[in-house]
C-alpha cells in the first residue's frame, strides 16, 4: 500500500485523475480550483498526456467532448460560474453519450458571487443544468481521500456508462490540505468499440435526431433506460455515522456533513440519540436507504450551504411522513460545529 | 457492355443519397470537392469531419467519414479535443459564417492562434441559411436579410467581418486562403487550394483556414446563376479572393 502523504484537495484530485488513466485535460482558470490546471500542466507532459488551457469553459467542455468522442479518459475542472457556462456542452455530451469527468469546486453565488465554499450548485448538478432530459452521475466527497477515491471511480464509470461524471466539491475541500493515500498508477487499455478514429466503418457522434417519434423519442427512452440501470447499480454510495437506533438524524453532504459530525459527537455525550446520513452519490440519490431509515426516527435535520436544494430530495424521499427541519448557509458562509450543536439543541 | 475509360464518377466518400441542401447551393459542391480530396489522399478511414450547426448539420449523412456533431460555434474546440487525442487523424472543421464568426468567434480565433493542426473550411454565404436568412457577421452593408429589412446599416449593425484578414493577424496559422466556387475555373482553383491545406495537415504543418465565398440562392432570393454572378460582382469586391498566407511557399 502506498504511504500517506499530505496533499491539497485539488492537487490530490489531479494526481488521482492521472493515476486513473486521465491523459487529457482541458480547462480555464477560475478560483478556487486553480491548483488542478496548474498541477495538470506540469504533470501531464511527464506521462505523455496533453494539457490545453482553453479560451473559455465553453471551449474546454467541447474539447473534452472531442476527446471523449475518441473514447479517451479526459477531464475538465472549474467552479460554479464556469460550470454554468459548461451546461450547454454537458447536455450535448449527455445526448451524444461520450465520457467526461467534470469537477466543480463550488463557490458562492449567484452571479460572480464570491470564492468562498458553497453548495449552491446542487440543483444544477443533480437536476440537470442544461437543456433536455438527461442525468449525470454526481459524487460529493467530504475529504481529500474521498476526492481521490471518487475521482478514480469517476473515470471507470464514465467509460463504462458513457455518461458525464461530476465531482462536486467546494472551495474548502479543494483548498484543504489533508493526508491521502494515492492509488497505484493504472495502465489503462479501455476496450472501446463505439468511438471515432478507430479506422472502421463510419462512426457518428451526435445528439441531433430530427424525427421525433422513431428517432429522438427512442433515443431518450434509451437514455432513460440507461439512467434506471445506473440508479440500480450505484445505490451504495452513502455514509451513516451513528445512524443506528437514533431519535434524530441529520442529513448533509460534503463539507457540511463533516462539520455536523463534530456536533453529533458533542450531542451524543449528552445522551441525545442523533446520527448522520451522508449521501456521497447525489445522483443516483440513495433514496431507498433514506426511505427505510426515515421510518425509524422522530425528526430529521438538514444542513446545507444552499437554500433547501439538497433538502428537496430528502423531502421527496420522506414523502411528508416525518418532520424535517432545514438550516442553510448562503453566499459562501459555512457552518461551525458550535452553531450546529446549538441549533439541534433548540429544535429537539 | 459499356467499355471505355471512366472520366468522372461520384467520389467513394460521398454517399449516394439525396442531400437536404437547396438546389444550386455551394454546400453540395463543396461536400463533393472535399470527398474527392479525401479519396485522392486515400484518407477516408482516418478523416473526422465536424458537422456544425447550420445548413451543413447533416454533413455526416453525405460524407462517409467519422463525424462529431458540434454545438453552435464549438466545432474548432471539438476538433482540438479530437486532434490532441489522435494527432495522426485528419480533422476538418466545416463551418458557416454565423457559426464561425458570431457565436464561435472565440473558438475560431483561439484554435487558429494555437495553430492546431486541423483544416477549417469556412462557408461564407453572408447570411444565416438554416434559420431562414437572418443577418450574418459577413452580411454586406446594405444587404437585405430577414433581420435587416432595410439593408445592413453599419450604424446599427456594424460592418461585415473579414475572417481571413482577421486570422492573418495571428502568428501560428500555416495557410490562409479565400476562394470562390462560381465557375469551373474557380471551382478547380478552390479544389487545388483545399487539397493543399489538407496535404499540409497530413504532413503535420499546422492550421489552415480556407474560406469559400458561397451562394445562398434561397435566402438571397436569386436564381443560382444570378447568385454566382453576385459573388463575382459584389461579394468578392469586399472579400478579395486570394491566398493570404502560405508558409509552405514562403
Per-residue model confidence as pLDDT tens digits over B2-32: 788 988 999 999 999 999 999 999 999 999 9
Is B110 part of the contact surface with chain A (CB cutoff 8 Å)?
A: yes
- The three three-digit cell numbers of residue A34, written as one number: 486553480
Q: What is the mean pLDDT of chain A?
A: 97
Task: Indicate if A238-347 has the same CATH topology as A5-233.
Answer: yes
Find chain B residues with C-beta within 8 A of A89's C-beta. 71, 74
Are A63 and B70 a contacting pair at CB < 8 A? no
Looking at residue A111, what is its pLDDT? Answer: 97
Distance between A198 CA and the closest CA of chain B, angstroms: 8
Of A66, A203, A204, the CB nearest to B80: A66
If you ran DSSP here, which 8-state letter would residue B56 be given? T
Cβ pair A314, A328 in contact under 8 A: no
Q: Considering CB atoms only, which of A70, A88, A204 is closest to B67?
A: A204
Question: Is there a contact between A137 and A154 (Cβ–Cβ < 8 Å)?
Answer: yes
CB B41 within 8 A of CB A39: no
**DSSP 3-state of A243:** coil
Q: What is the pLDDT of residues B74-83, one digit of tens each?
A: 999 999 999 9
Q: Which residues of A touch B17 (CB under 8 A)?
A: none
Contacts of B184 (CB under 8 A, 6+ apart): none
Which of A59, A197, A205 shows the shortest C-beta gap to B86?
A: A197
pLDDT in tens, A64-88: 999 999 999 999 999 999 999 999 9
Instruction: Decide if A147 contacts A19 (C-beta within 8 A).
Output: no
**What element of type H or E holds B121?**
strand B119-124
**In the CATH hierarchy, which top-level class contains the domain A238-347?**
alpha beta
Residues of B in contact with A203 (CB under 8 A): 66-67
pLDDT (tens place) for every residue of chain B, 250 residues total: 678 898 899 999 999 999 999 999 999 999 999 999 999 999 999 999 999 999 999 999 999 999 999 999 999 999 999 999 999 999 999 999 999 999 999 999 999 999 999 999 999 999 999 999 999 999 999 999 999 999 999 999 999 999 999 999 999 999 999 999 999 999 999 999 999 999 999 999 999 999 999 999 999 999 999 999 999 999 999 999 999 999 999 8
Q: Which of A61, A125, A112 is nearest to A89 (CA)?
A: A61
In chain B, which residue's Cα lies nearest the Cα of A59?
Answer: B77
**Rounded Cα distance, B45 and B38, in Å:** 9
Q: Which residues of A touch B114 (CB under 8 A)?
A: 52
CATH classification for the domain delimited by B26-246, as one of 3.40.50.970, 3.30.530.50, 1.20.1640.10, 3.40.50.920: 3.40.50.970
- Residues A251-271 pLDDT 10s: 999 999 999 999 999 999 999
Q: What does the alpha-carbon distance between residue A285 and residue A118 come to, in Å, rounded to a whole number?
A: 20
Q: What is the pLDDT of residue B4?
A: 87
| Start-to-end CA span in chain A (Å) | 45
Q: Residue A287's pLDDT is what?
A: 95
- CB of B112 within 8 Å of a chain A CB? The answer is no
The answer to whether the Cβ–Cβ distance between B77 and A208 falls below 8 Å is: no
What are A212-224's pLDDT values in tens digits?
888 999 999 999 9
Domain residue extents for chain B: 26-246
CB-based contact B107 A96, cutoff 8 Å: no
B72 secondary structure, DSSP code: T
Secondary structure (DSSP) of B160-220: PP-HHHHHTTSSS-SEEEEEE-SSHHHHHHHHHHHHHHHHHHHTT---EEEEEE---HHHH
Q: Do A66 and B57 touch (CB under 8 A)?
A: no
Residues of chain B neighbouring A96 (CB-CB closer than 8 A): 68-69
pLDDT at position A296: 93
CATH fold of A5-233 reads: Rossmann fold (3.40.50)
Name residue, grid cell 444550386.
B24
Q: Where are the domains of chain A?
A: 5-233, 238-347
Tens of pLDDT, residues A307-319? 999 999 999 999 9
DSSP string, A109-172: -STT--SSB--TTHHHHHHTSSSSS---EEE---SHHHHHHHHHHHHHHHHHH--EEEEEEEHH
Quote the Cα angle for A308-A312-A314, to 5°: 115
Q: What is the pLDDT of residue B155?
A: 98
- Residues from chain B that touch A41, judged by Cβ atoms under 8 A, are none
Does the beta carbon of A63 lie under 8 angstroms from any beta carbon of chain B? yes
Instruction: Find the residue in B nearest to A58 (Cα).
Output: B74
Q: What pLDDT does residue A1 have?
A: 65
Whether B134 contacts chain A with CB within 8 A: no
Residues of A with CB below 8 A from B58's CB?
Answer: 208
Report the candidate in B207, B202, B205 with the shortest Cα–Cα distance to residue B46.
B202
Amino acid at each position: 500500500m502506498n504511504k500517506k502523504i499530505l496533499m491539497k484537495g485539488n492537487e490530490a484530485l489531479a494526481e488521482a485523475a492521472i493515476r486513473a488513466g486521465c491523459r487529457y485535460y482541458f480547462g480555464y482558470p477560475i478560483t478556487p480550483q486553480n491548483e488542478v490546471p496548474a498541477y495538470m500542466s506540469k504533470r501531464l507532459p511527464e506521462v505523455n498526456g496533453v494539457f490545453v488551457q482553453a479560451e473559455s469553459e465553453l471551449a474546454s467542455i467541447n474539447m473534452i467532448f472531442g476527446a471523449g468522442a475518441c473514447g479517451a479518459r479526459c477531464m475538465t475542472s472549474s467552479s460554479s460560474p464556469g460550470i454554468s457556462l459548461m451546461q450547454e456542452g454537458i447536455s450535448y455530451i449527455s445526448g451524444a453519450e461520450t465520457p467526461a469527468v467534470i469537477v466543480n469546486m463550488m463557490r458562492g453565488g449567484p452571479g460572480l458571487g464570491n470564492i468562498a465554499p458553497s453548495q449552491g450548485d446542487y440543483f444544477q448538478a443533480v437536476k440537470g443544468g442544461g437543456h433536455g432530459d438527461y442525468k449525470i452521475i454526481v459524487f460529493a466527497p467530504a475529504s481529500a481521500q474521498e476526492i481521490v477515491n471518487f475521482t478514480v471511480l469517476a473515470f471507470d464509470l464514465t467509460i463504462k456508462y458513457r455518461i458525464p461524471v461530476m465531482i462536486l466539491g467546494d472551495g474548502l475541500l479543494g483548498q484543504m490540505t489533508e493526508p491521502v493515500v494515492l492509488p497505484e498508477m493504472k495502465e489503462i487499455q479501455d476496450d472501446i468499440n463505439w468511438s471515432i478514429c478507430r479506422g472502421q466503418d463510419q462512426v457518428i457522434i451526435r445528439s441531433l435526431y430530427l424525427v421525433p417519434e422513431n428517432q429522438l423519442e427512442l433515443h431518450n427512452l434509451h437514455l432513460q433506460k440507461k439512467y434506471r440501470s445506473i440508479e440500480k447499480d450505484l445505490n451504495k454510495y452513502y455514509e451513516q455515522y451513528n445512524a443506528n437506533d437514533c431519535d434524530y438524524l441529520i442529513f448533509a453532504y460534503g463539507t457540511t456533513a463533516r462539520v455536523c459530525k463534530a456536533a453529533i459527537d458533542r450531542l451524543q455525550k449528552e445522551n441525545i440519540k442523533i446520527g448522520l446520513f451522508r449521501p456521497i452519490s447525489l445522483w443516483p440519490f440513495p433514496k431507498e436507504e433514506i426511505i427505510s431509515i426515515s421510518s425509524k426516527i422522530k425528526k430529521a435535520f438538514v444542513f446545507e450551504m444552499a437554500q433547501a436544494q439538497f433538502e428537496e430530495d430528502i423531502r421527496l424521499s420522506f414523502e411528508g411522513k416525518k418532520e424535517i427541519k432545514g438550516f442553510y448557509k448562503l453566499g459562501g458562509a459555512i457552518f461551525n460545529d458550535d452553531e450546529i450543536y446549538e441549533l439541534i439543541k433548540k429544535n429537539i | 457492355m459499356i467499355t471505355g475509360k471512366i472520366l468522372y464518377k461520384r467520389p467513394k466518400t460521398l454517399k449516394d443519397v439525396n442531400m437536404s441542401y437547396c438546389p444550386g447551393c455551394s454546400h453540395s459542391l463543396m461536400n463533393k470537392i472535399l470527398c474527392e480530396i479525401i479519396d485522392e489522399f486515400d484518407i477516408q478511414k482516418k478523416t473526422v469531419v465536424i458537422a456544425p450547426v447550420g445548413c451543413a448539420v447533416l454533413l455526416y449523412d453525405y460524407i462517409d467519414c467519422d463525424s462529431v456533431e458540434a454545438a453552435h460555434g464549438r466545432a474548432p474546440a471539438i476538433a482540438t479535443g479530437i486532434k490532441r487525442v489522435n494527432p495522426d487523424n485528419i480533422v476538418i472543421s466545416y463551418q458557416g459564417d454565423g457559426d464561425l464568426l458570431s457565436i464561435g468567434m472565440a473558438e475560431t480565433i483561439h484554435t487558429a492562434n494555437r495553430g492546431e493542426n486541423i483544416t477549417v473550411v469556412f462557408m461564407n454565404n453572408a447570411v444565416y441559411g438554416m434559420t431562414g436568412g437572418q443577418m450574418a457577421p459577413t452580411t454586406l452593408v446594405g444587404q437585405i436579410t430577414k433581420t435587416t429589412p432595410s439593408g445592413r446599416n453599419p450604424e446599427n449593425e456594424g460592418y461585415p467581418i473579414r475572417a481571413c484578414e482577421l486570422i492573418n493577424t495571428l502568428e501560428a496559422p500555416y495557410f490562409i486562403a479565400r476562394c470562390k466556387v462560381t465557375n469551373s475555373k474557380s471551382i478547380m482553383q478552390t479544389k487545388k487550394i483545399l487539397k493543399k491545406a489538407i496535404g499540409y495537415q497530413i504532413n503535420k504543418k499546422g492550421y489552415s483556414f480556407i474560406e469559400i465565398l458561397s451562394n445562398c440562392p434561397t435566402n438571397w432570393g436569386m436564381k443560382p446563376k444570378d447568385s454566382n454572378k453576385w459573388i463575382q460582382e459584389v461579394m468578392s469586391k469586399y472579400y478579395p479572393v486570394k491566398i493570404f498566407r502560405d508558409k509552405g511557399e514562403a
